[in-house]
């Protein structure tokens, strides 16, 4: 069995799932932040946010990292010298930091203490898209 192709396939599936959550959760935050004096809606958003984060995003992030590390090991750790791989790992680390920032926001919403406006959540919703574009171009073209 070709473990490289297996790990690559599982890595891609995990990354797609993780990205879906990274793109969707801030959109839910926009709607949640716009909700005023409607406890039913607020509770619904809290439940949606919690389930998305803990049941989809966290496992997908962990599996993305796991299969990514297994990919590196299957190719050989000597590939870590390549700048394109270092840049990819840097951008994935930024995605991971963004993931945990969303957890911080989720915790604020759970305490009915959102610090940010709907506009803020609309703007930060572009962060994972920009990082994804950078990652894809670096991995496909391996320019450095």
Alpha helices in 35-126 (DSSP H): 39-51, 58-75, 83-110, 118-124
pLDDT by residue (tens digit) across 66-106?
999 999 999 999 999 999 999 999 999 999 999 999 999 99
Residues in the chain: 144
pTM assigned to the model: 0.93
What residue numbers bound the domain in which 121 lies?
A: 3-141
> 20 is written with which tokens?
């879906």
Question: Has residue 124 got a pLDDT over 80?
Answer: yes
């Amino acid at each position: 069995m070709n473990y490289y192709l297996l790990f690559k396939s599982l890595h891609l599936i995990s990354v797609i799932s993780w990205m879906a959550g990274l793109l969707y959760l801030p959109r839910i935050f926009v709607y949640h932040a716009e909700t005023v004096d409607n406890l039913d809606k607020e509770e619904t958003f809290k439940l949606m946010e919690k389930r998305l984060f803990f049941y989809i995003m966290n496992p997908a992030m962990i599996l993305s990292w796991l299969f990514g590390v297994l990919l590196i090991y299957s190719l050989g750790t000597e590939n870590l010298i390549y700048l394109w791989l270092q840049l990819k790992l840097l951008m994935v680390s930024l995605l991971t930091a963004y993931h945990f920032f969303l957890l911080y926001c989720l915790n604020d919403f759970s305490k009915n203490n959102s610090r940010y406006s709907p506009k803020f959540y609309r703007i930060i919703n572009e962060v994972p898209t920009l990082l994804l574009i950078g990652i894809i171009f670096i991995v496909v073209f391996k320019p450095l």
